[in-house]
Every structure is written in C-alpha cells, then in structure tokens.
Amino acid sequence: MLYKGYASSSFKHVFKGDIMKLAVFGSGYVGLVSGICFADFGNQVICADIDQGKIEGLKKGKIPIYEPGLGELLERAIKSKRILFTTDLKKAIQDSDVLFICVGTPALSTGKADLSAVEDVAKAIADSINGYKVVVLKSTVPVGTCDRVKKIIEKEMKNKQEFDVVSNPEFLREGVAVKDFQNPYRIVVGAESEKARSMMAELYKPVARTTRPLVFMDLKSSELTKYASNAMLATRISFMNELAHLCEDVGADIKQISKGMGLDTRIGPRFLSAGIGYGGSCFPKDVKALAHILDSYGHETNILRAVDHVNEKQKKVAVQKLKKFLPDLEKKKIAIWGLSFKPRTDDIRDAPSLTVIEQLLEEFAEVYAFDPEAAENMKLKFKKVHYTDTAMEALKDADALLLLTEWDEFRNPDFEEMKKLMKQRIIIDGRNVYEPEQMRALGFKYDSIGRK
C-alpha cells in the first residue's frame, strides 16, 4: 500500500524528540551512501564497521569509494556533528532507534547469496539490544532473510526486548547514488507492524514530500522486488546484446531499433543499449541469486540462466572483433579506454574490462589502459598492464583502441591527435559511443556493437 501519512505522535518516545537516531552497519557502498544521506536529512547517524582502517579514514573525511557528490555531503554531516563512525557495534546498537544492515551479500560459487555478514550483525544486535528497535535489511538478500534475522535475534537475545524486522531494499545506481537516494523512483518497505511502518514513514518523510511513492508491502514481496527489478533490467540488456548479433549479420542498426522500441510506452527507452555486457555489484550476482532461489523451490530458471549466459559471452565480443583486424595479438600494443563497469564510478566488480584484459594477456598483447577513476582498483587485479595518466598517453604507438566504458571525456576526443599517436588506426567501440560513418570518414578501421 502507498504511504498515506502514518501518524507518528504515538512514538515520540522512540524518536527521542524530533530527531531519529540511526545506526548503519557496513560502511561499503550502500551503507555509506545511506548513512551520509540520512544524516543530510537531519538524522543522527552512527556508521559502524569492523574495518578499523576504513573507520579511521572516514573520521578524517576520506571516502573509500568514488561517488560524485558524496564527499560534500559527508563534509557537511561531520561539520554539523550529525554523523559518527565507530567499530563499537554495541554502542551503535544501544544508542540508536533504527538499525540498518547494509553489509555485503556476495555470491557463492553456487550463485547463492552469502549471508554470513548479515547473520553476524543479527547476532551482535541480539547481544546488545536494550529497548525497542527497528532492524532494517537494506542489503540485497534472498526471500525469507528477514524471517531468518528475526529468528536469530529471538534465539540469541539475552534480555528479551521488543523489536521489528523490516525490509527496505536499496535501488541506488552507482555514479548517481546521491541523486537516487534524495529523489528516488520509489521507496519499498516491507513491514509487519504498524509501529515499524510509522517509524519508516517518519524516516522517509523528507523524500515522500517530493511526491515519490513510499510503498508498503509484506516482507517477502519487498525482498523479492529488488531481485526482480535487477533481473528484469539485466534481461533487457542481454536481449539487446543478443539481437545485436543478428543486426550485424543482416545490416541493421541496433541503435535505431532501440530508439524505435523505446518509443513504445509499454517498453520505454531505458536499458535498451547494446554493448559488451553488464557488470557491477548488483546485476551479475542478483541474476544468479534469483536463479538459485527458483532452483531451490524446484522451478525452472531458463530465462535467468540465458540472461547470465548471454552476458558472459558478450564480454568476449570486443576481442573477437579486434582479432578480425589483428589475428595475431602477440606483442601488439592495445590501448583500453575505460575500466570501471560503468562511468562515474571506480567499481570494477564483474566489469567486462576484466574479461577483456584477461583475454589480451593470454594472447601476449601489451595492454595500456586509462580510466579516470578505476585504475587503482584494477592495479590490484593485473600487474602486467601499463596504466597511463591520460587517455591520449595510452594511444602512443598503439595498434588498436578498445573503448570499454562510456566516460564523458571519451565522447569528443581530438580524433586528429589520435590518428597521429596510433600506429594502426583500429577502434573497437564496445559502447557504441561514436558513429560508424564518421569514424570511417576520418580514416579509422572501426567496429562497434550491432551496427552496420
């Protein structure tokens, strides 16, 4: 049901005045964005993590992730004393009203989500709970996890206290996460009690005022909404990538098809861009996790398995196209523009660039790579890659350029300078940033995804 203005006056004793006191467990991507943005709404926030180094850095205003706008919000929150960082989980629990679990749930080899960190936080809550708390699962978790957390707290709790467990999945897009938090498409909350619903409505009142829907539902529906949303978006991407191969065979243009499809209001234009596959912290693991859940209930997972299969195969397309121009890559200098899985982030988790670099190194190519933000993370993965300080530096004497991430600074480069720098003027555009006719007119040997 949609939020209709739940009265909160009955729970003023819980709010300790007009200020909500929150604890956020996990200072990774979701936890930091959520904690800092909640503090910016005027709440008192304690961010707790077991990583001492990360906490010490945050106390000094150093954010361990790249997310535009987040640093400014953190600086403001620290200055106004609305946010604290600690490794003392007990203090965070006892000094707060609402406890957000924002820890990682990585995929195991089976595709199943690893809930060990979630369970650890649940046990810590049980050990230190000192009054009524709303325990909020914001981490992406399989259906039934809220019930599981509730049972753990009830079983491990030494002093019986009242509490509620709530599902509140995050829908943050890396690169625009602050905007997404402050002006979301929707806020989904799964809650069983009127008391918990009222507190969540109060917490999200600054956002609900912007007419963005605050949707209440049952716990299991809320848990599944996140997986279903990401799986649907991933399906759209894999569908377009599979169709792109046919476009190349028959001489059609996937970008024109995408535009024609997107004008249908039943379909819409978003996530219809063909490329070299999706990556990041959500789509790959969430597709696998949802498939695992379906498997565990005895249901077929043909669509989800196909979505994942198409995506993994698509990550190899760039090198396949490159080898049409350069069949032997040994000792060839290959430049890469873009390492993060998408622009405006330094996240390389499951990025197509990982597969591409691995293929190139197996072919004994010399790889020179540039990314505005993600190079330091990639250095931890590949020591044999040469990382440059500028995009143009990577092109010097290069036999080919692979464009893997559509950062804005790659959209309008100095093509004449590129031609002077490159040994061979070969460009494989994995994100369809440039126009084929223009690139060929400029004298480049050019190939892209699903275009003539």
Return the active site residues: 282
Tokens 């203005």 belong to residue: 5
Burial string for 288-297 (b: 16+ CB within 10 Å, else e) reads bbbbbbbbee
- Torsional sign, CA 326, 327, 329, 331: negative
What's the burial of 69, exposed, middle or buried (CB within 10 Å: 0-12/13-18/19+)?
middle
Residue type, 254: I
Residue 2: strand pairing partners: 215
- CA distance from start to end of the chain: 48
